[in-house]
Structure 1
Amino acid sequence: MNELRVKQSGFRNGIAIVAGGSGGLGSAICQRLAAEGVDVAFTYNRNADRARAVAKLIEEHGSRALAIQTDLTDTAQVDRLLQRVNTEWSTPSTVIYAAGPQLYFKYISQLDPAIFKATMDQDIYGFYNLASASLPLLRQERGALVALSTPAIVRYTKKDILSIAPKAAIHSVVRGIAVEEGRFGIRANSVGIGLVGDAGLFETLTANGDIDEKYMQATYERVPLQRLGLANEIAEAVAFLASERASFITGQLLMVDGGLST
């Protein structure tokens, strides 16, 4: 940990956990935190090679990295994740939820209930398990929790129910934590992310045909800035909310969507 950089940027003790840190957005968030001197422990699902690559990127910023394979829907694995970070380093002061299942664009009328249930279970319970288990540690550090969300919560997008439904529930929990845990100094916020052009989800949706030329044209017409977002732009917003630069902000949903939700 670079204590001078951490002190200047305001990340309490400079230890963060990023759930889903091996993904496109998660990796950008890990690197952004590391650039400010924060040591980053992050979770990954199956891709150990990708996790090692992200760890190397964190270390290139002079920060420590710890990649931990974790199924967030398993409370025992979440407990082991937190215990390992707390034992090997110290109490984390920042917890970021950037994980989530593979998404598909489907009309509600065409969506298999089994896919809906699996998506809800993975996203909501994964977040809740991490958030609830982290609260005792965050209380010790008067720390910050940040969850990735979607602007579609406030401006519904057709065929996006698999994103909207779980993220709406997650933000409700975020708001609850902000209200109930503020007395312990904990802050909790969400970041509503628009369509990001250089992260894995966009590439996947394009490859499976959910995003085509017609969809992109409609997107540019709806987004005031008329472009896609970048992963580093999302990471910047997350880092801001996680740091003491946002010390009087809690319970909020910060839209980073090019104006889509306006």
Structure 2
Amino acid sequence: MNQQTNGDFPEGATVVFGGSGGIGAIIAEGFGQAGSNVAVTYNSKADRAREVAGRISGSGVRAEAFQCDVRDAAQVEACCRSVLETFRAIHTVVFAAGPVVEQKLLAETEPSLWEASVQIELQGFMHVTRAFLPALRDSQGSFVHIGSAGDRWWPPRDGLSVVPKAANEALIRGIAKEEGVNGVRANSVLVGVIEAGMFLELLERGVFDDAWIKETQKLLALKRWGKPEDIANAAVFLASRKAGYITGEQLNVSGGFGV
């Protein structure tokens, strides 16, 4: 099925970068449930991406998996062409790609870790922006960046995630300012502690111990961890026509982290 099942989105597809990840997969499924066709991108987790696409297809819309390393501009451009060949139009690009981020003080951050994070999160998002802007101009669509609640309240040892994402917040505002004349919107979802993906992996490794959990809980107004569906719901809203007059903004989905 190629058409959306409701009027929340223009014709075409949502492209989810990082769609094979813990949060990215739920975001991709959220767009499918909302009636959008979905392109699920992955770098190395092909089986996982195809599994996600299969579940989305079961909801009555079309979903396909596409391999793409966002660090490579040529691959990103080729991915855009492939998605357009498959779906004919793109109305939303969600950028949720990112590595598992080691928890390091800035003074102890190795150059290799820094460069890896910047290459994926910052350079990757710029590659995606350049490649996909023409398609979003055609559809008057939007970018949704999956950022960090650390942009509002600095979490010690999380600089490898917060700093590149903070640069992307400036990029989001730039897109909103420069591309509004073309009908393109750009917004961010700021992510708190979510029971999925990187948080669960670091928890299993013991990086987040009982003391960390106790101190972090103190900073939450809502005394629970977030669910990936919380992020998906926010992303779907910002991309939909319900948010048609919202651009250049941040939606903080963090349970009141640091309030």
Q: Please, which moves more after superposition, 138-147 or 49-58?
A: 49-58
Amino acid at match of 2:251: L
- 2:54 corresponds to: 56
- 2:182 corresponds to: 184
Q: Does residue 1:226 correspond to 2:238, yes or no?
A: no
Residue-by-residue CA offset, 1:111-162 (whole Å, 9 max, x unaligned): 1122112211221011110112111110001001100001111211111101
State how far apart, in whole Å, the 1-side matches of 2:85 and 2:230 are.
Answer: 32
What is the CA distance between 1:209 and its match in structure 2?
2.2
- 1:75 corresponds to: 73
What is the CA distance between 1:208 and its match in structure 2?
2.5
* Residue among 147, 150, 156 paired with 1:149: 147
- Contact 2:71/2:127 (8 A) holds in 1: yes
- Contact 1:2/1:37 (8 A) holds in 2: no
Structure 2's unaligned 5+ residue stretches are none
- 1:135 corresponds to: 133
State how far apart, in whole Å, the 2-side matches of 1:200 and 1:112 are.
Answer: 23
- Contact 1:6/1:13 (8 A) holds in 2: no
* Residue among 213, 236, 241 paired with 2:233: 236
State how far apart, in whole Å, the 1-side matches of 2:131 and 2:215 are.
Answer: 41
* Residue among 202, 205, 208 paired with 2:202: 205
Secondary structure of the 1:223 match is: coil
Q: Does residue 1:255 correspond to 2:247, yes or no?
A: no
State how far apart, in whole Å, the 2-side matches of 1:85 and 1:117 are.
Answer: 29
- Contact 2:40/2:52 (8 A) holds in 1: no
Q: Please, which moves more after superposition, 150-159 or 207-216?
A: 207-216
Identity %: 39
State how far apart, in whole Å, the 2-side matches of 1:48 and 1:122 are.
Answer: 18
What is the CA distance between 1:207 and its match in structure 2?
2.3
- Contact 2:34/2:236 (8 A) holds in 1: no
- 1:117 corresponds to: 115
TM-score by length of 2: 0.97
Q: Give the 3 Å change call, closer, same or farther, for CA 36–2 of structure 1 in structure 2.
A: farther
Secondary structure of the 1:93 match is: strand
Q: Give the 3 Å change call, closer, same or farther, for CA 4–104 of structure 1 in structure 2.
A: closer
Q: Does residue 1:103 correspond to 2:67, yes or no?
A: no
Amino acid at match of 1:177: I
- 1:12 corresponds to: 10
Paired positions, count: 259
State how far apart, in whole Å, the 1-side matches of 2:115 and 2:160 are.
Answer: 10
- Contact 2:176/2:248 (8 A) holds in 1: yes
State how far apart, in whole Å, the 2-side matches of 1:4 and 1:113 are.
Answer: 45
Amino acid at match of 2:6: V
- 2:84 corresponds to: 86
State how far apart, in whole Å, the 1-side matches of 2:111 and 2:70 are.
Answer: 22
State how far apart, in whole Å, the 2-side matches of 1:87 and 1:14 are.
Answer: 11
Task: Report the RMSD for the aligned CA atoms in angstroms.
Answer: 1.2
Q: Does residue 1:24 correspond to 2:22, yes or no?
A: yes
State how far apart, in whole Å, the 2-side matches of 1:253 and 1:36 are.
Answer: 21
* Residue among 213, 217, 236 paired with 1:216: 213
State how far apart, in whole Å, the 1-side matches of 2:107 and 2:65 are.
Answer: 39
